[in-house]
Amino acid sequence: MYLKAFLMKWVMITLVIALVFGLFAHFSFGKILTISTILSLVAFVGDLFIMPKIRNIWATVSDFALAWIGIAVIADLISNSPISIMAYSFWAALIIAGGEYFYHRYLLNHVFKKHSDMHHFGNMQTEFGEELELKSRINPDKK
């Protein structure tokens, strides 16, 4: 269940980075895979621990910031290109954030919901009956 969710995120990010950096900045496929794999791992860990605690819109905004900074830093480290990394990173992050909004909805409805169903037994309640009054019926003097 987590592997499927991670692969969905990785494919989405890889496609966006390939589109922006592959077509416009002429990055090699190896550089595209490096950026997308590192960014996907960091963002997925954030999704697992932070996303369930905050609203989808804030998670999407933080994913945008992470993607923009993360892509720019990684691309700058692995590239000797004089192109405007920040501009390409901005557009890639904007597209990724759009996909992240729907990805977070998938996580909430399929991954986190199934995970919480495994740890809870539904909507069970404890019932109290006459057993609590058993001592007073056996020994009416002790209440």
Q: Residue 122: what pLDDT?
A: 46
Is residue 138 a part of any domain in this protein?
no
Residue 139 within any structural domain of the chain: no
- Determine the pLDDT at residue 130: 53
Residue 16 domain flag: yes
pLDDT at 7 over 50: yes
Contact 37, 6 (CB under 8 A): no
Is 143 part of any domain? no
pLDDT band at 81 (very low <50, low <70, confident <90, very high): confident
Average pLDDT value over all residues in the chain: 85
d(CA 117, CA 119): 5
Domain count across the chain? 1
Residue 100 has pLDDT above 60, yes or no: yes
Domain membership of residue 124 (yes or no) is no
The range of the structural domain enclosing residue 9 comes to 2-116
Q: CA-CA distance, 11 to 14, in Å (whole number)? A: 5
pLDDT at 121: 42
Residues contacting residue 26 through CB under 8 Å, at least 6 positions apart: 81
As a whole number, mean pLDDT of residues 30-54 equals 94
What does the pLDDT read at residue 117?
A: 45
The reply to whether 132 falls in a domain is: no
* Structural domain includes residue 36: yes
> Are 50 and 62 contacting, i.e. CB atoms less than 8 angstroms apart?
yes
Alpha-carbon dihedral sign for residues 76, 78, 84, 88: negative
End-to-end CA distance of the chain: 53
For residue 129, being part of any structural domain is answered with: no
**Which one has a higher pLDDT value, 141 or 57?**
57
User: Tokens 């590239």 belong to which residue?
Assistant: 79
pLDDT at site 65: 97
The pLDDT of residue 21 is 95
Question: Would the pLDDT of 131 be above 80?
Answer: no
